[in-house]
Structures are given as structure tokens and as C-alpha cells.
């Protein structure tokens, strides 16, 4: 994300960064004037940014089509839910004796655990699928996502772990340094509601994930992922241990999903298997593809657009239809899917590389020297005096 004009002009770069930072800080207060529901939408958009960036490592960098990504989101969410709610204490005598009030673990323990467990699940999915590519990999990962969801749905009998389709309630809000994000807090006389607090937490996490993915992209590991995406056999011939590097892509992508899942659980205060359907995976893949596979800014844009537009429609569709037709012809939910599909078709037709794809050097420019080079290729030959 380097703009040439800013490279030459550090002052402008700092200025722009400061302006963006201020805008991001003020955003919930601006959106909040229209009601906290809008801030909530922004919070969720940030969660999807995290998810899409995590999936981008697997799909965008390493080129492994993963249609079960939501499973890692679920793993993170359920781990947080189980470790920070009365659920386990209510159902297991020995836990009740140890923790009569239920489990309430610090996020400093739960979030790393969630990331780690999701990474483990990522490697578990990756290991048996190492030889698969493209459609075949998509089918297996799709199945994996469904298996995890069905497990969560049915792990309420014979012993009740996940509480089945009813889901887990009473999940603790996140608490950082004694400040609970679950209720309105006052800082310097300014009242900051819970959704604003979560916004700042999600923003910090999203920025961290952005930094990490951009750093990985320009690293030895990132290049190895892309080499596998481009040509696996040639990558092997370059000495890349494709098995390890692919497993690492699965694990790292999954760990971001796990963190996002833990955030989701605490933010909602409630998780159920319904939140982790195949449709969620499809939406996250769409965000990556639509934004621009392998390009972090594009993926962020894709996540925000695909999450925000349907949400905005929910508010706008009914009044707009009433105003134009005098009656509601299409339910907002149906309209949402309709537009979702339509936008995918249009994008794939007219911008197959995504809305904001990675830099495309040499697509249009044929350097002047190249023409002369082709006329006398020997001139470029090595070994010339």
C-alpha cells in the first residue's frame, strides 16, 4: 500500500495517516448519532475484515480454495463461550466444585488459546488435503466446515458440552485491565457505550492483522505461498517444502479466524451453531474474491462492501420500495441475496481479478528497450565483454 507520491513526500504521508487515524477514532461517534445500530454494523464489518484477511492467506496467497473457513470462526467462538460462561459449570459436577460461579477466564488466556486451537484445526484440515487442489479441495473443506457445525449442533447428548442448537448464553463480555467492554464506560467525562468500546478493540485487532498479513506477503514465507499458488511443481523444484508451507498457510489463516470467533462470542454474548453455516463461508470467500485475491487492501474493501451493503439495504429497502411502488414487493432479505448474486456475476464478468487487485506490472507497458532487445537478443547475452 505505498503510493509513489507519498514516498517522495513524507510530510504528506504522515498527514494522511493522521487524518485517517482521526477519522477512524471519530467514526463511532459520527455513526452513533444515527443510533448505536450503525456502530454495531461497523463492529461486525471489522470482524469480517479480520475473517477475510485470514482466509486471504489460504485462498489469496497460497491459492488453496477453502470453503470451510467458518469452522475456525466457530472453534474460536465456542472456545471463548465455553471458557467464559457458566455453561461448563452447569453441566459438569467437578467444574462446578472448582468454579462455583462458572468459568470466567481472562482474555489474555482465552484469545491466544482460541488462536492456537483454531490453528490446530487448520492443520488438521490441511494434513489430509495436501494432495488436493481446486475443486477437490473445495469439496473436502466444505465438508469439514459442515462437520464442525453438525458436531456443535449435536454435542448436547449424551453429555452436554455445547448445549446443541440452543447455543451458549451468558458469555462474559471482554474485560481489559478491569474495564468491562460490556457496559457504558466514562472516560474524562465522555460516555462511551459498549459498542464503541468493542469498535476500538476490533479496530486494533484488525490493524494488527493487516500489519501481519502485509508483512507476511513480502517475506520468504509469503513468496513461498505464492510460488505454490502459481506452480506447485516448480515451487518444489526450488526446494520449497510444500507440505510444511501449505500446513502453515492453513494454520495461520485459521488462527485469525479463531481470534475473530472469540471476539464474536464476547460481543454477542451468545453463540449457536446457526451462526456458522456454509453460507457464512461462502460470503467470506466472496469477500476475498470480490475484493481482489491476495491483495490486502482489496480484501478489506471486499469485506466492508459485502457486509455493509446488505446491512444498509435492510434499513433502506423497505422505505424505498414503499416510496417508489407504494408497497413492499421484495423482502429485504430476498433482495439482499439477489443483489449479492448479481454483484458477483457482474464483478466476475467485468473485473475478474477483483475490485482492487494487486499491482499489475508490465500489463500495458512494453519498455522501449524491450523492442530493441528482441531485435538483437545477443546483445543482452551474458558473457559479452
Partner 1 sequence: MSAIPTGMSASMATTSPDTPLLLVQGAEKRFGGLQALSDVGISIERGQIYGLIGPNGAGKTTFFNVITGLYTPDAGRFELNGKPYSPTAVHEVAKAGIARTFQNIRLFAEMTVLENVMVGRHIRTHAGAWAAMLRLSAQRREEAEIRERAMQLLDYVGIARYAPFQSRTLSYGDQRRLEIARALATEPSLLALDEPAAGMNATEKLALRELLESISRDGKTILLIEHDVKLVMGLCDRVTVLDYGKVIAQGLPDDVKRDKAVIEAYLGASNE
Residue 380 is a binding residue for partner 1 (CB under 8 A): yes
Element holding 288 (H helix, E strand) = helix 278-291
The region of 135-143, 157-165, 189-197, 367-375 touching partner 1 under the rule CB under 8 A is 367-375
Shortest spacing between CB 18 and partner 1, in angstroms: 22
Q: Max Cα separation, the chain?
A: 84
Task: Report how far apart, in Å, the C-alpha atoms of 146 and of each of 171, 202, 215, 373, 376 are.
Answer: 24, 27, 32, 55, 59
Residue 234 is a binding residue for partner 1 (CB under 8 A): yes
Shortest spacing between CB 39 and partner 1, in angstroms: 30
Residue 373 is a binding residue for partner 1 (CB under 8 A): yes
Q: Which residue in the set 237, 323, 324, 345 belongs to the binding site for partner 1 (CB under 8 A)?
A: 237
Q: Which three cell numbers stand for residue 261?
A: 470467533
Pick the closest to residue 303 from 85, 109, 59, 55 (CA basis): 55
Counting beta carbons within 10 angstroms of the beta carbon of residue 4, is it exposed (0 to 12), middle (13 to 18) or buried (19 or more)? Answer: exposed
- DSSP secondary-structure letter at 69? T
Q: Which is nearer to partner 1, 42 or 55 (CB)?
A: 55
Task: Report how far apart, in Å, the C-alpha atoms of 344 and of each of 203, 338, 355 are.
Answer: 27, 10, 11
Q: Which is nearer to partner 1, 17 or 373 (CB)?
A: 373
Q: Which three cell numbers stand for residue 328?
A: 413492499
Residue 372 is a binding residue for partner 1 (CB under 8 A): no
The region of 73-81, 136-144, 296-304, 366-374 touching partner 1 under the rule CB under 8 A is 366-374
Q: Which three cell numbers stand for residue 217?
A: 506477503
Instruction: Mark 166-205 with x for binding to partner 1 (rule: CB under 8 A) and - for no binding.
Output: ----------------------------------------
Residue numbers at the binding site for partner 1 (CB under 8 A) = 212, 215-216, 218-224, 226-227, 230-231, 233-242, 248, 252, 360-363, 365, 367, 369-370, 373-374, 376-378, 380-385
Amino acid at each position: 500500500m505505498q503510493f509513489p507520491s507519498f514516498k517522495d513526500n513524507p510530510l504528506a504521508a504522515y498527514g494522511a495517516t493522521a487524518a485517517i487515524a482521526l477519522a477512524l477514532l471519530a467514526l463511532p461517534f459520527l455513526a452513533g448519532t444515527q443510533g448505536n445500530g450503525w456502530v454495531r454494523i461497523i463492529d461486525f464489518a471489522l470482524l469480517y475484515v479480520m475473517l477475510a484477511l485470514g482466509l486471504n492467506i489460504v485462498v489469496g496467497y497460497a491459492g488453496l480454495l477453502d470453503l470451510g473457513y467458518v469452522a475456525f470462526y466457530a472453534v474460536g467462538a465456542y472456545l471463548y463461550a465455553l471458557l467464559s460462561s457458566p455453561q461448563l459449570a452447569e453441566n459438569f459436577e467437578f467444574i462446578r466444585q472448582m468454579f462455583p460461579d462458572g468459568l470466567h477466564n481472562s482474555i489474555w488466556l482465552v484469545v491466544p488459546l482460541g488462536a492456537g486451537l483454531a490453528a490446530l484445526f487448520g492443520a488438521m484440515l490441511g494434513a489430509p488435503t495436501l494432495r488436493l487442489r481446486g475443486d477437490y479441495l473445495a469439496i473436502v473443506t466444505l465438508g469439514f466446515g459442515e462437520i464442525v457445525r453438525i458436531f456443535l449442533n449435536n454435542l448436547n447428548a449424551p453429555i452436554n458440552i455445547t448445549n446443541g442448537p440452543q447455543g451458549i448464553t451468558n458469555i462474559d463480555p471482554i474485560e481489559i485491565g478491569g474495564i468491562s467492554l460490556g457496559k457504558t464506560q466514562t472516560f474524562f467525562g465522555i460516555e462511551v457505550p459498549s459498542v464503541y468500546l468493542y469498535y476500538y478493540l476490533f479496530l486494533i485487532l484488525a490493524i494488527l492483522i493487516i500489519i501481519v498479513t502485509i508483512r507476511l506477503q513480502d517475506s520468504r514465507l509469503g513468496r513461498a505461498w505464492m510460488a505454490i499458488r502459481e506452480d506447485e511443481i516448480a515451487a518444489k523444484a526450488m526446494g520449497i517444502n510444500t507440505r510444511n508451507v501449505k500446513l502453515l498457510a492453513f494454520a495461520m489463516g485459521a488462527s485469525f479466524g479463531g481470534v475473530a470467533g472469540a471476539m464474536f462470542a464476547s460481543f454477542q454474548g451468545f453463540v449457536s451453531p446457526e451462526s456458522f453455516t456454509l453460507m457464512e463461508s461462502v460470503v467470506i470467500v466472496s469477500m476475498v474474491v470480490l475484493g481482489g485475491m491476495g491483495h490486502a487492501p482489496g480484501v478489506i474493501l471486499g469485506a466492508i462492501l459485502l457486509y455493509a451493503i446488505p446491512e444498509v439495504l435492510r434499513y433502506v429497502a423497505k422505505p424505498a420500495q414503499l416510496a417508489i411502488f407504494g408497497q413492499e414487493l421484495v423482502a429485504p432479505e430476498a433482495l439482499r441475496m439477489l443483489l449479492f448474486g448479481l454483484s458477483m456475476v457482474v464483478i466476475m464478468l467485468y473485473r475478474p481479478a477483483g475490485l482492487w487487485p494487486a499491482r499489475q506490472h508490465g500489463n500495458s507497458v512494453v519498455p522501449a528497450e524491450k523492442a530493441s532487445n528482441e531485435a538483437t537478443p545477443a546483445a543482452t547475452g551474458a558473457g559479452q565483454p
